[in-house]
Amino acid sequence: MMSSRNRLPGYESVAATGHEQRVAEHIELVHRIAHHLMARLPASVQVDDLIQAGMIGLLEAARQFEGGQGATFATYAGIRIRGAMIDELRRCDWTPRSVHRNSRKIAEAIQAVEAREGRAARGSEVAEVLEVPIDEYYAMLQDHAGAHLFALDDLGGTDGDADRVVEGQEASPARAMEAGAFREELAAALGDLPERERLVLSLYYIEELNLREIGAVLGVTESRVSQIRSQAVIRLRARMGSWLEDGEALQLF
């Protein structure tokens, strides 16, 4: 039985439909996902807020899950829980408008340099286009690092619509083809990143190392790793611009 502190509005309706045990059995999953995300978030974010949002995602998963669709409830619920937490973080966006504005300027500068040179833009070249000292450019990247914690997830849309990513929940043939084309272009853009940026993204998003651990691997400071990651993500956004302007493309996952 769930303790009273874990009860949320709507809990009674879930229990009434016979899903109380399923919810109770996966409370630990909510806590696990919340603490995993906290490792990448600033201290201003409270883990209890993530858990609250995650519990709502778990309740929704319990209501909507249909067995026999090729995915376990834990898989389905994990996507809903994480999506609910990320949606809450986006809703409470603490980022100043100037940071978003500077990120767009960096992306435009990267596009301009790469169109002119036919290769990956160097930081010094981007700073020159922006007409700022290189140290100021690095500071802009550092600001971006705290503002776009889930940038690669954003490139593929939100996690909230779990029905599109859980096995057995198929999109229409046209949407499936478009999703395949998006994945191919994203994979090509990732493969064309400078080696160090590609390595940082791999260690951070796939191996799930934190910035300090990546810095130890590369022999650089944690702040430098943060700057490299931000530049890589903005570079990807610049190269995937046509997809990001298409609202439909962002809802394929």
pLDDT in tens, 38-67: 876 766 778 899 999 999 999 999 888 876
Is a pLDDT exceeding 50 seen at residue 250?
A: no
> What global pTM score does this model have?
0.58
The whole-number average pLDDT for the span 92-101 is: 76
pLDDT digits (tens, 9 = 90+) for 111-129: 999 999 999 999 999 999 9
When comparing pLDDT for 239 and 221, which is higher?
221
Q: How far is CA 27 from the centre of its chain?
A: 22
Confidence check: pLDDT of 251 > 50 = no
> H helices of the chain, where?
11-16, 20-25, 27-38, 47-64, 73-91, 97-117, 123-130, 134-147, 151-155, 173-191, 195-201, 211-218, 222-239, 241-244
d(CA 189, CA 183): 10
In the chain, where the domains are located? 4-91, 97-251
CA distance 40 to 171: 32
Task: Return d(Cα 103, Cα 121) in angstroms, integer.
Answer: 15
CATH of 4-91 given 1.10.1740.10, 1.10.630.10, 3.40.50.2300, 3.40.50.150: 1.10.1740.10
CATH number of 97-251: 1.20.140
Asked whether 205 and 152 are in contact (CB, 8 A), the reply is yes
Distance CA 54, CA 75 (A): 14
